Amino acid sequence: MRNHLSAGREIPIRADTNVEEVIDCCARVANVFIQRRMHCVGCSMARFETVADVCAIYRQPLDAVLEDLREALAGCDH
């Protein structure tokens, strides 16, 4: 499993961030999608879609999802 470190830096979670990269950060981050009933964890399309894409698909508020993802990332072991 990849982590959220890339060349010693955290991957910023933005609207255009790839969903698979976000999910691979840590279980806490993946859990945000699960709690919102977004079926991204384990989905083969996650590698092709952005956070904005899946928010539109699942009719989730982008800003709130980004906030939840960033909060979850902050709680992960770095």
User: What would the pLDDT profile of 19-36 be if each residue is shown by its tens digit?
Assistant: 999 999 889 999 999 999
What's the CATH code of the domain at 66? 1.10.3910
- pLDDT (average), residues 50-56: 98
- pLDDT (average), residues 64-69: 98
Tokens for 8, please give them: 């010693």
pLDDT for 10 equals: 63
pLDDT for 77 equals: 75
- Sequence-distant (6+) residues with CB within 8 A of 27 are none
| Residue whose pair of structure tokens reads 């999802």 in the numeric block | 65
- pTM value is 0.83
Length of the chain equals 78
Checking if the pLDDT of 44 tops 80, the result is yes
The residue range of the domain holding 35 is: 5-74
Collapse the DSSP code of 46 into the 3-class scheme (helix H, G, I; strand E, B; otherwise coil) and give the result: helix
- pLDDT (average), residues 52-63: 98
Number of domains in the chain: 1
